Homo-oligomer: A and B are copies of this chain.
Amino acid sequence: MWVDPRNFPRDACAIGAALDHLGDRWTLLVLRETFFGVRRFEELRRNTGAARNILADRLGRLVDAGILRREQYSDRPPRDEYRLTEKGLDLYPVLITLANWGTKWGDFELGPAIALQHRACGAVVQPALTCPECGEAIDARSMRVVPGPAMVAAAAAADDASG
Contacts and interface: CB of A to CB of B under 8 A. Distances in A.
Interface string A113-135: 11111111101111111111111
Interface string A73-99: 000000000001001011111111111
B25 A140 contact: no
A13 B150 contact: no
Interface string A34-57: 011110000100011000000000
Given A23-B28, A103-B14, A117-B144, A127 B132 contact: yes
Nearest to A108: B12
Contacts of A109: 150
Contacts of A130: 127-130, 135
A147 interface: yes
Contact of A112 (B12, B47, B117): B12
Interface of A: 3, 5-6, 8-10, 12-19, 22-26, 28-29, 32, 35-38, 43, 47-48, 84, 87, 89-121, 123-151, 153
| 10 smallest beta-carbon distances between A and B, as pairs | A23-B25, A17-B106, A111-B149, A14-B102, A123-B133, A18-B102, A17-B102, A92-B140, A12-B113, A121-B134
